[in-house]
Amino acid sequence: MRNFVVVGNRAATTPDFSLEDIPGTSGRIDILCRCINSAFVLSHGIRRDVHVYLILRGGGSPKTIQLRGRDLRHLNPDERTTAALLKKALALEVDSNWTKSTPGIFVRIGDLANLEIFGDGATYYLREDGSDYRGLSSGADGTFVLGDHIGLSEEDEAFMTDLNAAIVSVGPRSLHADHCIVLINNELDRREAANRDESEIDGNGTKE
């Protein structure tokens, strides 16, 4: 499983934003929409082995929206329809339990530290001064934590340290979170393909 966690430091926790001006009215939910596209969208379908967690901190108690690739429906690649799905989720009355919004989309009250996924496999914190993720020998999955345009707070960073998260980067330029997710997905795709090729060699003695 690939988990992408994106922290939206000012992202709206209510549906009171305009689809006609997402960047200006939602605390940059447009960034989160682009991350969803990068995490899930393939040419002919949706990545089923991906979960995305959006941490929304733009007012009142933080909320978390979870998107599960296996169950996702109605996801189009454009920002506006994705923002409309998030708006729908944010209109629900929720507590600290996951409440289903549309197929594959769940929402609850909760912050980064409340996520149960950490510890279940390797955790990576994406930061521009990190080690090159491409060079790291590793499996074909993991949990990847990214900040929006503001980045992670000191408190978040301390939490990452407590988790023993590896600090990684995706290249020599500083990129938006959605571009980083494209690069991580590509690297994991390549590792999966390489593992598949190896197991074919192991299984048959020769590679087809």
Q: Which residues of this chain interact with its own copies, rule CB under 8 A?
A: 19-23, 30-31, 34, 37-38, 41-44, 76-81, 128, 149, 170-176, 179, 182-183, 186, 189-190, 192-193
Q: Is 140 left (phi over 0), alpha (psi -120 to 50) or beta?
A: alpha
In the complex, the smallest distance separating the C-beta of residue 161 from its own copies, rounded to whole angstroms, is 23
State the amino acid at position 166 in one-letter form.
Answer: A
- What residues contact residue 124 under an 8 Å CB cut-off, 6+ apart? 133, 142, 143, 144, 145, 165, 166, 167, 168
- CA-to-CA distance for 22 and 36, rounded, in angstroms? 15
Q: How far is the CB of 193 from its own copies (least distance, A)?
A: 4
The smaller minimum CB distance to its own copies, of residues 10 and 179, is found at 179
Shortest distance in whole angstroms from residue 138 CB to its own copies: 17
**Min separation Cβ 30 and its own copies, Å:** 4
Identify the helix (H) or strand (E) that includes residue 164.
none
Q: Which is nearer to its own copies, 73 or 80 (CB)?
A: 80
